Chains A and B, each alone.
Chain A
Amino acid sequence: MEHYNMSLNLKVWRQNNSRDKGYFEDYKVDGISSEMSFLEMFDVLNERLITEGKEPIAFDHDCREGICGMCSMYINGKPHGPWKSNTVCQLHMRAYKDGDTIVVEPWRANAFPVIKDLMVDRSAFDRIVQAGGYISVNTGNAVDGNSMPIEKDKADASFAAAMCIGCGACVAACKNSSAMLFLSAKVAHLALLPQGEPERKKRVVSMVAQMDKEGFGACTNTGACEATCPKDISLSNIARLNQEYLIASLTADK
């Protein structure tokens, strides 16, 4: 692919803290290579802001390999930008052309309060996982991989659900700010495996209760979450979660 440089007009959300009202600030960035990643473009801008003695733009990032789930920018009306099945860190500037205007916002949901600029507090997801997204195992040597046979179809479906990186794009895209796609991936991942069986009912009831407590909205099956998920988590996991929840609510011991 041919390399080119570009100048871009950025409209970036700036906010000092969760209590601050926040505003959009315009930036013009020049000499951006089409081979840069979107976050590298922000690095270039931040270097300039620091040199000018201004406050750099705060944004989340970690692995920059598309697997940690830390990056979280809502770009021109879509979480993680225009590419499908992609995270911001894997979005490259060849997605844009010279002179483009790009609007960058943080995830918007009451359950994800803004910490600063484009960084939001996603610890609600951690608390949901703490409520039941685990299995109990004996400590000691690792068990032989073949000691517990698992059907290929179930192993594949579980693995597909386990791909969820917990970035929160599903919440950001959902008109209801619902975390059901995230939760369904976490529940389905373990419910499909024999290792997840002992806490199966308790897990789903506790995790749903925690999700409601965190202030996420309710799912109306629109499908916006599935369309924006960087890991292609399927909407059918939500139906599986509903089944798990219904059975667990009716039959759990307490």
Chain B
Amino acid sequence: MGLTGIFLITFLIVHMGINACMWAAVYFPDDHGEMFNKAANFMGSMVLIRIIEVGLFLFIFLHIIQGYMLTVYNRSKRAVGYAVDYGSKGSKWYSRSMGLLGTLILLFLIIHWLHFWIPSRFTGVEEVEYSGVKMHNMFALMQTTFQQLWVVILYVLGCISLGYHLAHGFQSAFKTLGVHNKRYQIMLSGLGYGFSIVVPFVFAMMPISMYLGWVK
């Protein structure tokens, strides 16, 4: 879980960086999503990145399968439960709810793939031309998708689930890999909380800023 988790954490940074190009349209009035579309096209057209994409899906499915296997395995270890539950003593609710949070993220991911990945790879997206090069107008697709309030709310909820999942998962992954040095544990714990707030916040701001018309 730790190893696949760290790989997915690395992917989140790349995904966030590419998507953040959409805000170029705020600072450059003539951009209209050009930087974002070019960045998305760059990612989609590079052979190396397409190979990594296969690895990414493999790691996502490995992480999901491992997660469910771990949840089922651990639940089977206490056939008779307590009358009075141990509750939250010493542990955070989200550290005890990683299976649930992971399921919510998976549901969000399926919708996210249906919105963007499937059209981009299979069903087709409206094209735009920059300096004679044709590419998918993913920016326009985002604008259309995020005009619906329920979609924006769904994405924000998905980001909140991701935030709590990361709040435990980030530091737990490094413990699983054996980081026991006190100084590094404190550093990774702080970094993990920071990451779990900043990354989901940036992702959540994307549909929000589209819906509110901050990005045109």
Q: Is the CB of B74 within 8 A of A78?
A: no
Q: Which of A1-43 contact B (CB under 8 A)?
A: 11, 22, 24
Number of residues in A with C-beta < 8 Å to the partner? 43
Majority SS of interface residues in chain B? Answer: loop
Q: Is the CB of B73 within 8 A of A218?
A: yes
Q: Is the CB of A243 within 8 A of B180?
A: yes
Q: Is A173 an interface residue (CB 8 A)?
A: yes
Q: Is the CB of B70 within 8 A of A218?
A: yes
Q: Which of B131-190 contact A (CB under 8 A)?
A: 168, 171-172, 174-180, 182, 185
List of B residues within 8 angstroms of A74 by Cβ: 82, 84
Nearest residue (CB) in B for A176 is B74
User: By CB atoms of chain A within 10 A, which of B92, B95, B177, B178 has the most?
Assistant: B178
List of B residues within 8 angstroms of A242 by Cβ: 175-178, 180
Q: Closest CB of chain B to A210's CB: distance in Å?
A: 15
Q: Closest CB of chain B to A20's CB: distance in Å?
A: 11
Q: Is A233 an interface residue (CB 8 A)?
A: no
Q: Is A215 an interface residue (CB 8 A)?
A: yes
Q: Is B121 an interface residue (CB 8 A)?
A: no
Partner of A175, one of B76, B86, B180, B185: B86
Ordered nearest first, which 5 A-B pairs have the shortest CB separation?
Answer: A227-B90, A243-B178, A239-B180, A77-B84, A176-B74
With A216-B77, A217-B77, A220-B74 known to touch, is A246 a contact of B83 (CB < 8 Å)? no
Q: Closest CB of chain B to A16's CB: distance in Å?
A: 15
Q: Is A105 an interface residue (CB 8 A)?
A: yes
Q: What would 22 A/B residue contacts be, using CB atoms closer than 8 Å?
A: A22-B80, A77-B82, A77-B87, A108-B78, A110-B77, A173-B86, A175-B96, A217-B77, A220-B74, A221-B95, A221-B171, A221-B175, A221-B176, A222-B90, A224-B91, A224-B96, A236-B182, A239-B175, A239-B179, A240-B180, A242-B178, A247-B178
Q: Which of B170-213 contact A (CB under 8 A)?
A: 171-172, 174-180, 182, 185
Q: Is A76 an interface residue (CB 8 A)?
A: yes
Tell me the bound Cα distance from A178 to B83 in angstroms: 19
Q: Closest CB of chain A to B56's CB: distance in Å?
A: 24
Tell me the bound Cα distance from A176 to B74 in angstroms: 5
Q: Is the CB of A221 within 8 A of B172?
A: yes
Q: How large is the interface on B (under 10, 10 to 19, 20 to 34, 35 or more residues)?
A: 20 to 34
Majority SS of interface residues in chain A? Answer: mixed
List of B residues within 8 angstroms of A176 by Cβ: 74, 77
Q: Is A117 an interface residue (CB 8 A)?
A: no
Tell me the bound Cα distance from A144 to B171 in angstroms: 43
Q: Is B85 an interface residue (CB 8 A)?
A: yes
Q: Is the CB of A218 within 8 A of B74?
A: yes
List of B residues within 8 angstroms of A227 by Cβ: 89-91
Partner of A108, one of B81, B168, B174, B185: B81
Tell me the bound Cα distance from A173 to B73 in angstroms: 17
List of A residues within 8 angstroms of B98 by Cβ: 220
Q: Closest CB of chain B to A104's CB: distance in Å?
A: 10
List of A residues within 8 angstroms of B175 by Cβ: 221, 235, 238-239, 242
List of B residues within 8 angstroms of A220 by Cβ: 70, 74, 95, 98, 172
Q: Is A177 an interface residue (CB 8 A)?
A: yes
List of B residues within 8 angstroms of A24 by Cβ: 83
User: By CB atoms of chain B within 10 A, which of A175, A177, A246 has the most?
Assistant: A175
User: By CB atoms of chain A within 10 A, which of B77, B81, B82, B83 has the most?
Assistant: B77
Q: Is A223 an interface residue (CB 8 A)?
A: yes
Tell me the bound Cα distance from A150 to B169 in angstroms: 36
List of B residues within 8 angstroms of A225 by Cβ: 90
Q: Is the CB of A177 within 8 A of B78?
A: yes
List of B residues within 8 angstroms of A223 by Cβ: 90-92, 95
Q: Closest CB of chain B to A164's CB: distance in Å?
A: 16
Q: Closest CB of chain A to B117's CB: distance in Å?
A: 30
User: By CB atoms of chain A within 10 A, which of B70, B91, B172, B185 has the most?
Assistant: B91
Q: Is the CB of A105 within 8 A of B178?
A: no
Q: Is B79 an interface residue (CB 8 A)?
A: yes
